[in-house]
Amino acid sequence: MVGITSYGGYIPWQRMDRMTAYKAMGWLNPAAILPGERSIANYDEDSITMAVAAARDCLKGIDKAKIGGLYIATTTSPYKQREDAGIIGTALSLQPAIRTADFTDSTKAGTGAVLSACDAIKAGSAKSVLVCASDLRKERAGGYQEQLYGDSAASLLIGDTDVIASIEGSYSLSYDFSDSWRTDLDEFERAWEDRWRRDEGYEKQLTESITGLLGKYNLNIKDFAKIVIGCHFERAAVAIARKLGADPSQVQDSMMRIMGDSGAGYPLVMLVAALEDAKPGDKILVASYGNGSDALFLQVTDQIEKARDNKGIKKWLVRKKMLDNYNKYLAFRGEIPMDKGFRGEETSSSQLSALWRGRKVFLGLWGSKCKKCGTPLFPIQRVCVNPDCGAIDEMEDYCFADRKATLFTYTADLLAYSINPPAIYGVLDFEGGGRFWFDITDCEQDEIKLGMPMEMTFRIKYVEHTRGVTSYSWKAIPLME
């Protein structure tokens, strides 16, 4: 039996009421208003960091040494020639002897990656494949996409043992259908008329893929406890289900009023939300969209309870901070030029050879642990700092990424450049030992307290625009229970 053995999700901390954008830019496009709010990635996030967050949720308590593959699906990679899966795998401290691949150029890339992972398991190429799907799409100010889209990520572990939801079958369509696109030189997505996307795209192609799945496996639409339809037109999704004979109550919440359409991650984020409420025996149908459609048929097993402790989607939705400043949103997206001051403008070139040699420290957050006295040290050291020990070259590798910590001391700095001042950084004491200073993100200055519990998160350290280098590192955030 091949299927999902674990799941994880990620919704950024910040949300923006769509009316906030409309009040600022509604004069440009008076019809571009939708109800509710959308998720907003922080200034130090991108599709890679969100994928890492979802994957860490998915892999909680799982032996990473047994993972034989890593696939990432995204249409918004920060690189055109550098494998995202390689960065994510290093951040997750996966073994290098695994199969990796980036799936891109279509919003149905997420389901395509899942199907490819299933094929790899069935063929015996791997015993377990981690699939991540994540998108952070930039939208023109005042455009309709600004209202539609939201940022999020999902991760599924595909395997053939301890399966929580078996993947029983699929049906795929591929069409060279131009309703939205982005060339190699485009910063923003281009789109044809909305009615064209809805009537000729979503409604016809999703209906065709779901009908094909039902016919291929002799299924009845009413057999499904939940129907996940990756369609940001809420009424169209319900209309598709009704046309096929389903009850609207079977349709999984589109999350458009609380998150928005997250591109390649959208159908998998909705699937994770469906799995959070699923019961053994439930059948789930998932249909993605993008130059065609993939329809998947899943059945939940009695192993589903083992994933209940993961953050999934619900816990991330509870943790939120409303962003009520539209200009700050534009600044975070890099859509308006900002005065960095001379401190912010003075940057040195990334030493790529040094980053490669120190990848375990920078990307994996590995330190060392003294084999004689058990003292953890960060970064990697040769000499034990314990005054009662002082052992030399008696170290073993020790990872800090998944360890909780407490805030020993901190500074809120208004002189150091930050796109979201003040720059907050502090010293953390890790559970089990180890102390170091880190930047602190996803919080406000008045929320910080000495001794508060913290955890680590993978984020952008800086972007060197002149050379096209995005540098990643680990930061601290308040612990999310």
341-365+400-478: which CATH number, 3.10.620, 2.60.40, 2.40.50, 1.20.5? Answer: 2.40.50
Three-state secondary-structure class, residue 184? coil
Give the lowest-confidence range in 28-37, 291-300, 316-325.
Answer: 28-37
**What are the C-alpha distances in Å from 157 to residues 67, 260, 416, 421?**
9, 24, 41, 38
* Average pLDDT over every residue of 295-313: 95
Residues 468-474, mean pLDDT to the nearest whole number: 93
Q: 422 preceded by cis ω (within 30°)?
A: yes
Report the pLDDT value the prediction gives residue 467, as an integer from 0 to 100.
87
Q: Which amino acid appears at position 471 of this protein?
A: S
Which band of pLDDT confidence, cut at 50, 70 and 90, is reported for residue 423?
very high
Length of the chain measured in residues: 481
Domain 3-332 has CATH 1.10.10.10: no
Domain boundary assignment for the chain: 3-332, 341-365+400-478
Residue 179 has pLDDT above 80, yes or no: yes
pLDDT digits over 230-264, tens only?
Answer: 999 999 999 999 999 999 999 999 999 999 999 99
CA distance 3 to 129: 10
Enter the pTM of the model.
0.96
pLDDT at position 29 over 90: no
pLDDT (tens digit per residue) in 195-220: 999 999 999 999 999 999 999 999 99
Residue 163 is encoded by which pair of tokens?
């399966």
What are the pLDDT digits (tens) for 130-170?
999 999 999 999 988 999 999 999 999 999 999 999 999 99
Q: What is the pLDDT of residue 119?
A: 97
Do 187 and 335 touch, CB atoms closer than 8 A? no
Average pLDDT over residues 281-306: 97
- Rounded to whole angstroms, the maximal C-alpha distance in the chain is 75
For the segment 58-75, the average pLDDT, to the nearest whole number, is 96
Tell me, rounded to whole angstroms, the distance of Cα 372 from its chain centroid: 39
pLDDT classification of 278: cutoffs 50, 70, 90: very high
* Whether pLDDT at 194 is above 70: yes
Is 349's pLDDT higher than 90?
Answer: no
Q: What is the mean pLDDT of the chain?
A: 95
